[in-house]
Copies of this chain bind each other. A is one copy, B any other.
């Protein structure tokens, strides 16, 4: 299925030659490369770009975008291809700018606890690079995404409850705007009150306002003591209530992740773990020895009161790595449950006081739907996902999955929440933008119109057609 049949931009031979004059051999019009660059990890239909270029510098990206602007050709930035809402589909064709070769860590400023990276550096690569500095970068979506891509989707992950999301951890950006201008937003100062917050405008803009080429990030000190645990519960309700009470008690927990019994089963199979197939929390405590002890005791009491079982501890670094690797691979584990199936990943986020109701009603909907949809969640933030497994050839399955997601999103919005906690809008959530933001969507359109009047930057994403 290819959405890009209508109203494609005209990418001429001359245009390709002009591109080649900028990037040389780092260009492909091959079907498989284009196909791969127009799809993500999910059921969203692929829409290949006309051409893929592999950029190596901000200046090069600027020249490419200027060329596209002059020819009115769409630009779709590409990082690791791990997004989940159809962000990469080249709906009107155009140029996919692959930034994966811009993968240099430009400078580590340990004294200021910040780092400057090119947009193609991945989160794992960055943390490997920081090895031995005593510092780490906490934001960790499941996939090994690029930091540019994580800026684009305003990503978060398991550490957000303690360390914040990309929103809280980006200090400054280099961005190529829709006309090819290079703009530097923000600074390495920890705070500033000078003018409009262009950094935060770009974080979460999904390539629709510009191409992020360089990112300055906050780093955090690795805690003196770290311990992680897995704790199974008799009921999903008990697990969720333990999370809510932990947050409401103000425990500075580093990670508190929920997996329902279906997700535990899938993860056991994929990651060769042997956790009891029950609703389960994965926990991590960071701090001084004394602080970790205090936090642990408090959370153990809370879990006990809510029907939690025995804590299975991972103290050693390697054990913890294995535990969190299993959590990070949840989406891949689910895909492996039914080979050939595609996934639709939902992304509800509600105020924590609404989490139990929202999650339990949603679980009831899943059970009634008869669909296979493991639940996993960054529940400390009020955020959880269903991974709905779909036969992509079965239109009925897609319809039923949409209905399940739609029902959940209506619930979430009524509760004052958001239809995407961390994955972004892409094409998948566009239909809910008016419901969530009302008149705010008109303001977003005014900004898009002002900064990308030709609508060449990742067109067809975030803002629904009128």
Contact = CB atoms under 8 A, between A and B. Distances in A.
Interface of A: 109, 111-114, 153-156, 160, 164-165, 167-168, 177, 181-185, 187-198, 200-201, 203-205, 209, 221, 244, 248, 250, 287-288, 290-291, 294, 347, 349-353, 381-383, 416-425, 429, 432-433, 436-444, 446-451, 462-463
A183 B439 contact: yes
Copy count, this protein chain: 2
A381 B290 contact: no
A196 B204 contact: yes
Contact of A291 (B288, B436, B449): B288
Contacts of A167: 191, 197, 200
A163 to B, nearest CB: 12
A109 B294 CA distance: 26
A109 B203 CA distance: 28
Contacts of A429: 194
- Chain B CB count within 10 A is highest, among A187, A195, A449, A451, for A195
Contacts of A422: 191, 193
A248 B195 contact: no
Contacts of A156: 191
A429 B217 CA distance: 26
23 contacts: A111-B351, A112-B353, A154-B193, A164-B168, A165-B191, A181-B442, A182-B439, A183-B438, A188-B417, A189-B350, A189-B383, A189-B416, A191-B381, A193-B204, A193-B420, A193-B421, A193-B422, A193-B423, A196-B462, A197-B201, A287-B291, A288-B294, A450-B450
Contacts of A168: 164, 168
Given A111-B248, A288-B294, A349 B191 contact: yes
Nearest to A172: B416
A425 B114 contact: no
Nearest to A441: B195
A198 to B, nearest CB: 6
Nearest to A153: B193
B194 A433 contact: yes
A131 to B, nearest CB: 18
Contacts of A183: 438-440, 443
A201 B201 contact: yes
Contacts of A444: 195-196, 198
Nearest to A181: B439
Contacts of A204: 193, 195-197
Contacts of A446: 450-451
Contacts of A188: 351, 416-417
A352 B110 CA distance: 11
Nearest to A381: B190
B109 A187 contact: no
Contact of A443 (B154, B155, B198, B417): B198
A209 to B, nearest CB: 8
Contacts of A189: 349-351, 382-383, 416-418, 421
A349 B112 CA distance: 13
A443 B451 contact: yes
- Chain B CB count within 10 A is highest, among A165, A424, A440, for A440
